[in-house]
Amino acid sequence: MVFTSGFRLGTIGTGFLKNPLGWAWQDYSSIPGTGVTITRNDNGTMLEDFDPAKIISDTAVIVTKDNPDAFAYTGTIPLISTKVSVTSHTGDSVTLNAVPHTSYADFRIYYLYRFEVLPTDYTIAPSFIRNTNIVEIDNLFISEEEFAAFFPLDHTDSGQITNVGTYTHTQIDSHINDTTSNPHNVTAEQVGSPAAFDEEDEFDTTVDNQTTFILSDTPDLTSVPQMLVNGVGQTYNEHFTVSGSTLTFIPTAAGFQLETSNEFGQPDKVIVRYMI
């Protein structure tokens, strides 16, 4: 599996740490098109020659240089519909969904790189990049402008919400409680308060490419079960299924296999939470 922390350490030699996997970045004064090539690392001073073959694919994220916690947009107002994100990343080749607007000045593309030795003056990437599954990063932040534009809330004088966007209160209730066509696996009890679970089972991977886990109880599937692999959430009915007390993990859908010895030399940790 590829992890997304500040850096990861590979094999340990005699008194030396080798092959740390860390966040590198390259700054761009402008990006004229949607195709971008990574040619260097600007995070610290490299103690080795830059090698594009050591770039970890599918990890690139574009942000603004002067404010690395903020994304770039195609317009001057940061709306979700104009946000620039990475659509594909293979080696040193990055493809964006749109060209960033020049009003955001310089841009920065973060990517994971397998260093031989960490650069001097190496800087840890922002926490939202380090601690988040890559595929989720592009959907993390919604600005006030985005929220106002896409999720206008109407309310009565007593404070009750009557509409969300173009949907009325009655339509929302009907959609949530429709057990035959509910596409979100959401129950009415889950709306408005954090999900609570009756049971939590924890497993260490015991065989490579393990797919089956026997739970301590039988989940009530009217509430969506939760599966975490090394702290990263998996999608129910896509990355895993549950039948009776048996959970089946689907590696082809999740994009990785469970391992008995990951990059830490430890078994992948699986946590399952559910209602009974």
The arithmetic mean of pLDDT across residues 150-165, rounded, is 52
Query: Which of these three, 145, 164, 181, is where a domain ends?
Result: 145
Higher pLDDT, 110 or 160: 110
Most confident of 149-158, 230-239, 240-249: 240-249
Same domain, 163 and 265: no
Query: Which of these three, 136, 166, 190, is where a domain ends?
Result: 190
User: 39-71, pLDDT tens digit by residue?
Assistant: 999 999 998 999 999 998 888 989 888 887 778
The arithmetic mean of pLDDT across residues 23-27, rounded, is 92
User: 249-273, pLDDT tens digit by residue?
Assistant: 999 998 899 999 988 888 999 999 9
Same domain, 11 and 133: yes
The arithmetic mean of pLDDT across residues 162-170, rounded, is 55
Same domain, 61 and 177: no
Q: Is residue 203 part of a domain?
A: yes
Same domain, 176 and 114: no
| 69: containing domain | 7-145
Residue 273: its pLDDT value, please?
92
Number of domains in the chain: 3
The arithmetic mean of pLDDT across residues 153-163, rounded, is 52
For the full predicted model, state whether its pTM sits above 0.75. Answer: no
Same domain, 204 and 241: yes
User: 121-149, pLDDT tens digit by residue?
Assistant: 888 877 767 655 444 444 444 555 555 55
pLDDT at 171 over 90: no
User: 187-224, pLDDT tens digit by residue?
Assistant: 444 444 344 688 999 999 999 999 999 999 999 998 88
Residue 83 banded pLDDT, cuts 50, 70, 90: confident
Residue 218: its pLDDT value, please?
95
Residue 133: its pLDDT value, please?
44
The arithmetic mean of pLDDT across residues 24-39, rounded, is 92
Q: Is residue 72 part of a domain?
A: yes
For the chain, give the number of residues: 276
The overall average pLDDT reported for the chain is 77
Dist CA 185 CA 67 (whole Å): 37
Residue 172 banded pLDDT, cuts 50, 70, 90: low
Tell me what percent of the residues of the chain surpass a pLDDT of 70: 68
Residue 223: its pLDDT value, please?
87
Same domain, 30 and 82: yes
